[in-house]
Amino acid sequence: MSETAEKQSYDFRTIEAKWLPFWVQDGTFVVDPADERPQKYVCDMFPYPSGDLHMGHAEAFAIGDVAARYARLRGYNVLHPIGWDSFGLPAENAAIKNNAHPAEWTYTNIETQAASFKRYGISADWSTRLHTSDPEYYRWTQWLFLKFYEQGLAYRKDSPVNWCPSCQTVLANEQVVGEGVCDRCGTPVTKKALNQWYFKITDYADRLLDDMDQLKGAWPERVLAMQRNWIGRSEGAHVDFPVEGGHTVTVFTTRPDTIFGATFFVVAADADLAAQLVTEEQRAALEEYREQLKSVSEIERQSADRKKTGVFLGVHATNPATGAKMPVYATDYVLADYGTGAVMGVPGQDQRDWEFAKAFDLPIVRTVQPPAEFEGEAFTGEGPAINSANSEISLDGLEVEEAKARIIDWLESKGAGRATTNYRLRDWLLSRQRFWGAPIPVIHCPDCGEVPVPEDQLPVQLPTEAKGEDLRPKGKSPLAGLNDWVTVDCPACGATATRDTDTMDTFVDSSWYYLRYVDPKNTQAPFDVEKVNARLPVDQYVGGVEHAILHLLYSRFFTKVLYDMGLVNFTEPFKALMNQGQVLNGGKAMSKSLGNGVDLAEQMDEYGVDAVRLTMVFASPPADDVDWADVSPAASQKFLGRAWRLAQDVTSAPGTDPAAGAAGLRAITHRTIADAQSLLDDQKYNVVIARIMELVNAARKEIDSGAGAGDPAVREAAEVTAQILSLVAPYTAEDMWQMLGHDPSVANSAWPAYEESLLVEDTVTAVVQVKGKLRDKLEVPADISAEDLEAQALALPKIQRYIEEDGGVRKVIVRAPKLVNVVTG
RNA sequence: GCCCGAAUGGCGGAAUUGGUAGACGCGCUCGACUCAAAAUCGAGUUCUGCAAAGAGUGUGGGUUCGAGUCCCACUUCGGGCACCA
């Protein structure tokens, strides 16, 4: 800038209008396939096109963009893709309302969001853009389904499933939230016996759990904890109980050591097992009990303080340890789909069994000695075994762990039991009675049965003519009502057959999109194996904690299956995960009902894109919530103006050697680079902003009351400011960079190198403590010896006084050059 | 009940990982500029106290020359799971 040029004021509108088209034309963020530099893959969880972008998107994508832009400045070949998770129910509801096809609503919203993303300055490579609702995408979702099917990992079964009466569709366990309600509409979920498609995620339970070791430290601990909890591995034993009528029923127990206390036997009332065991005399009673249960809501059933109910099945089981006859009951406190759906009742050591025994007046035997002061009912703690012996084995006196091992050995020797592992995780119910999803590529033939659609007939496309009322849920998939679509020739025998009319859970779509990003236009395969192996796993994944179990667990599962198929050479998709916090307003999540929503577009109009982004990043650590009521985008705008004017004020020529510049400012500049680097590596993005603010303040001071605007150190500070600021405020930074005489884009400039020699301070402030309390300070050379520092500290008059008052020096701790602690007395 | 996480000024949050608590910002107070306001700039701002000084990082103990940081016990808040045998 020449001295004569008229000073403009900082106007974010002009700056945005200038640079947004430039980045598009320049292809600033498009990955060059020939780029040989080391790679980084930074990925945000792709959005659902529910409308325009909101404040939550702004927070998440601002944070993800810092990571991407930082990696780019550090010289990596960065892939930062963008796409949409564009299947899902809201599009269907809109279509019914507007008598339209869901695609209309979906793609209109995508265009709106795409424009907003561009305005928001996200450094995405738009050539990666994908939508899961495009036939070119879901063709491969279907292809992957078929691969899973081939390996027996996709199957159908009849089972009581979660049913939302309002959405008229089944739900996965992961989608039943809180006290048993639908995560979309809050309606209490009921159970319905249906034939549904599942992915066999339980086959991968151990690996999903054990491979979390790879993620420790790189994923938030709470996400790992939630997944661990969800998988719910528990070690125990299977024990076989002979039951009258010639059956043998196996139970799962984590406490085989308590088997001598098993006095009754309970099976899940809603499972087939109960119907198989029941005597003819008791069959009517069982049926009546089952009828009663149907009227009990899931919420009521799950409440722990509900009194135990059940019905005697008329048969007895034999306890393999005691030989005792145990009455067999059906009850709803035993879950059909956990363990084996049957439990040995040990009232002495299990509170639920205690309550059942009390309700049915069954004997209670303690087999673990509670401490003398114990006053509870069932005793579930540690203690020596009692009452636990037969003619062949005695556990008496053994502590729980030892007793478990001994009884398992004995059961194994008798062929009556074995150690086993059980999981809370159930198979993933993936079929949905919805329209706007990827159709399950299977044909049902009266002669051949289940026939997978041949690969060359993919994609099984959704009908494009369906609209409005065609899509209303009727208890079965809307596709079932479209006869032209449903009727098809069997690919195996040519007979008239029908298509499967369910569509896939949208979490199937999102379980592999991060793979497709590296090769989004591939028409021969979901992705090129070599390209994926070269680019993945994702180095930094960014998204909300609400997907802690759902999307993240499913994606991990998919990756492991693909690994086993030889399609990828890694077992975990996301090396590092960052959960951004929510954006609140007044301590509460923004919502229509509270009327506390803040409109992103309005904020950008009023304060500018950069100010909104800066506010998001500066407000708190990335993982913490941002309360919009506590922050000031106006202040962010003000700061950006200060930074921008810095560049405007610089009068030295580009390329001026900074060595001759003011030493004080240079030291601050280089300290800022060094600090920013380690802060960015630690993802302490909010603190990085604080450091840039300090640098801007120091540079301003230098201009106003120091060496002046022509000092080379001021130019250096302004350049560094532009570069670091470009991570959060790309428009302002780009404009600064140009004012400073550089070619755009600052985003592809090199991260500034700091000079070690400038970080070394000549003098430091040493603190002098007496008995750990700060009493005085001392300016000393940075290379002062411990002896000199101690002597100087002890000579201080203030310190002398304390020493006299406290009765002399006992000990002196010296940490040159920063600290002296005098211990007196 | 079980499992995670957190607690620092009026507010959001810093603290090189055991060595000056409160960086940076918001807000507030005072001042400059202005006829005035806005914008901008400057000074101050943990608490008590006129000051000297003292106290201080949820509570209570402990380790240490020295603790926001480490250990033990607890409290409160947030989140997840929960009749899972």
- Please give the full DSSP string across A430-494, using - where no structure is assigned: -EES-SSSPBP-EEEETTTEEEEPPGGG---PPPSS--GGGGS--SS-GGGG-HHHHEEE-TTT-
Closest by CA position to A541, among listed A220, A114, A250: A220
pLDDT exceeds cutoff 80 at A724: yes
How far apart CA A555 and CA A507 sit, in angstroms, is 9
Environment class of residue A651 by beta-carbon count within 10 Å: exposed (0-12), middle (13-18) or buried (19+)?
middle
Stronger pLDDT, A593 or A553, i.e. the higher one: A553
User: How long is the CA A239 to C1' B85 vector, in angstroms?
Assistant: 12
pLDDT exceeds cutoff 60 at A387: yes
Identity of the residue numbered A624: D
How far apart CA A504 and CA A437 sit, in angstroms, is 6
Hey, how many other C-beta atoms are within 10 angstroms of the C-beta on A441?
24
Identity of the residue numbered A355: E
Q: Which residue is nearest to nucleotide B85 (CA to C1')?
A: A253
Half-sphere exposure of A70 (CA within 13 A, CB side): 22
A471: its two tokens: 């899509």
Closest by CA position to A556, among listed A229, A67, A234, A206: A206
Closest by CA position to A133, among listed A84, A197, A93, A90: A84
**pLDDT for the residue numbered A123:** 95
- Cβ within 8 Å of residue A445, ≥6 positions away: A451, A490, A492, A493, A495, A497
- Kindly report the CA angle at A697 between A694 and A701, in degrees rounded to 5? 140
Q: Do residues A443 and A499 lie in contact, with contact meaning Cβ atoms separated by under 8 Å?
A: yes
Alpha-carbon separation of residue A512 from A23, A279, A440, A691 (angstroms): 29, 50, 16, 39
**pLDDT for the residue numbered A3:** 41
Hey, how many other C-beta atoms are within 10 angstroms of the C-beta on A328?
29
Q: Would the Cβ of A306 be found within 7 angstroms of any atom in strand B?
A: yes
Closest by CA position to A507, among listed A143, A195, A199: A199
DSSP letter for each residue of A386-434: -S-B-SS-B-TT--HHHHHHHHHHHHHHHTSEEEEEE-S---EE-EES-
Cβ < 7 Å from strand B, A residues 684-723:
684, 686-687, 689-690, 693-694, 697, 700-701, 704
**pLDDT for the residue numbered A483:** 87
Hey, how many other C-beta atoms are within 10 angstroms of the C-beta on A147?
17
Q: Across residues A173-182, what is the average pLDDT?
A: 75
pLDDT exceeds cutoff 80 at A473: no
**pLDDT for the residue numbered A683:** 93
Q: How far apart are the first and last CA of chain A?
A: 65
With pLDDT > 70 as the criterion, what percentage of chain A qualifies?
98
Identify the helix (H) or strand (E) that includes residue A260: none
DSSP letter for each residue of A723-779: HHHTTT-HHHHHHHHHHTT--S-GGGSPPPPPPHHHHS-SEEEEEEEETTEEEEEEE
How far apart CA A136 and CA A549 sit, in angstroms, is 28
Of the pLDDT bands very low, low, confident and very high (cuts 50, 70, 90), residue A299 is low
- Comparing A177-191, A215-229, A257-271, A337-351, the range with the smallest average pLDDT is A177-191
- Kindly report the CA angle at A213 between A224 and A423, in degrees rounded to 5? 60
Cβ < 7 Å from strand B, A residues 253-282:
253-255, 268
Give the length of chain A.
825
User: How long is the CA A698 to C1' B46 vector, in angstroms?
Assistant: 26
Q: Do residues A753 and A724 lie in contact, with contact meaning Cβ atoms separated by under 8 Å?
A: no
Mean pLDDT of chain A: 90
**Tens digit of pLDDT for each residue in A514-549?**
999 999 999 999 999 999 999 999 999 999 888 888
Strand order in the sheet with A496-499: A449-452, A442-445, A496-499, A487-489
Nucleotide nearest A696 (Cα, C1'): B24
**Tens digit of pLDDT for each residue in A588-613?**
888 777 788 899 999 999 999 999 99
**Tens digit of pLDDT for each residue in A17-66?**
999 999 999 999 999 989 999 999 999 999 999 889 999 999 999 999 99
Identity of the residue numbered A109: N
Q: Would the Cβ of A12 be found within 7 angstroms of any atom in strand B?
A: no
Q: Would the Cβ of A819 be found within 7 angstroms of any atom in strand B?
A: yes
**pLDDT for the residue numbered A96:** 86
How far apart CA A348 and CA A357 sit, in angstroms, is 9
Half-sphere exposure of A123 (CA within 13 A, CB side): 33
Closest by CA position to A470, among listed A437, A497, A436, A505: A436
- Cβ within 8 Å of residue A583, ≥6 positions away: A55, A56, A58, A59, A590, A598, A616, A625, A626, A627, A628
Closest by CA position to A615, among listed A604, A599, A605: A604
Closest by CA position to A425, among listed A195, A756, A201: A201
A345: its two tokens: 């009742």
Cβ < 7 Å from strand B, A residues 509-548:
545
Alpha-carbon separation of residue A84 from A48, A50, A114, A461 (angstroms): 6, 10, 9, 19
- Comparing A179-193, A355-369, A668-682, the range with the smallest average pLDDT is A179-193
Cβ < 7 Å from strand B, A residues 383-422:
422
pLDDT exceeds cutoff 80 at A502: yes
What's this model's pTM, rounded to 2 decimal places?
0.91
Q: How far is CA A247 from the centre of its chain?
A: 45
- Comparing A409-418, A711-720, A782-791, A804-813, the range with the smallest average pLDDT is A804-813
Cβ < 7 Å from strand B, A residues 153-182:
177-178
A527: its two tokens: 């992705």
User: How long is the CA A670 to C1' B36 vector, in angstroms?
Assistant: 45
**pLDDT for the residue numbered A4:** 40
User: How long is the CA A632 to C1' B26 vector, in angstroms?
Assistant: 7
Closest by CA position to A502, among listed A430, A429, A432, A428: A432
Q: How far is CA A4 from the centre of its chain?
A: 55
User: How long is the CA A381 to C1' B18 vector, in angstroms?
Assistant: 39
**pLDDT for the residue numbered A780:** 87
Q: Is the peptide bond before A463 cis (omega within 30 degrees of 0)?
A: no
**Tens digit of pLDDT for each residue in A69-102?**
999 999 999 999 999 999 998 898 888 888 889 9
- Comparing A164-178, A475-489, A521-535, the range with the smallest average pLDDT is A164-178
Q: Do residues A105 and A112 lie in contact, with contact meaning Cβ atoms separated by under 8 Å?
A: no
Rg (alpha carbons) of chain A, rounded to whole number: 34
Q: Is the peptide bond before A537 cis (omega within 30 degrees of 0)?
A: yes
Closest by CA position to A62, among listed A548, A609, A518, A629: A609
**pLDDT for the residue numbered A759:** 87
How far apart CA A313 and CA A820 sit, in angstroms, is 81
A391: its two tokens: 């003619």
Alpha helices in A39-161, H assignment, sequence order: 55-73, 89-98, 102-119, 135-150
Q: Would the Cβ of A771 be found within 7 angstroms of any atom in strand B?
A: yes
Q: Which residue is nearest to nucleotide B23 (CA to C1')?
A: A690
User: How long is the CA A655 to C1' B24 vector, in angstroms?
Assistant: 31
pLDDT exceeds cutoff 90 at A728: yes
**Tens digit of pLDDT for each residue in A351-384?**
899 999 999 999 999 999 888 777 778 888 888 9
User: How long is the CA A721 to C1' B17 vector, in angstroms?
Assistant: 28
A77: its two tokens: 């070949």
User: How long is the CA A299 to C1' B54 vector, in angstroms?
Assistant: 58
Token pair 């008791």 is at which residue? A282
Q: Which residue is nearest to nucleotide B81 (CA to C1')?
A: A229
3-state SS string over A643-668? HHHHHHHCCCCCCCCHHHCCHHHHHH
pLDDT exceeds cutoff 70 at A103: yes
Of the pLDDT bands very low, low, confident and very high (cuts 50, 70, 90), residue A7 is low
How far apart CA A698 and CA A469 sit, in angstroms, is 65
Of the pLDDT bands very low, low, confident and very high (cuts 50, 70, 90), residue A2 is very low
φ, ψ dihedrals at A158, nearest 5°: -85, 130
**pLDDT for the residue numbered A301:** 60
**Strand B, nucleotides covered by protein (CB < 7 Å):** 3-5, 11-15, 19-21, 23-27, 39-42, 55, 65-67, 78-85
A608: phi > 0 → left, psi -120 to 50 → alpha, else beta; which?
Answer: left
Identity of the residue numbered A776: D
**pLDDT for the residue numbered A380:** 85
- Comparing A106-110, A159-163, A321-325, A477-481, the range with the smallest average pLDDT is A159-163
Q: Would the Cβ of A463 be found within 7 angstroms of any atom in strand B?
A: no
User: How long is the CA A368 to C1' B82 vector, in angstroms?
Assistant: 25
Indicate the SS3 state at residue A552. helix
Q: Across residues A743-772, what is the average pLDDT?
A: 89
Cβ < 7 Å from strand B, A residues 633-672:
634-635, 638-639, 641-642
How far apart CA A124 and CA A747 sit, in angstroms, is 12
- Cβ within 8 Å of residue A302, ≥6 positions away: A179, A180
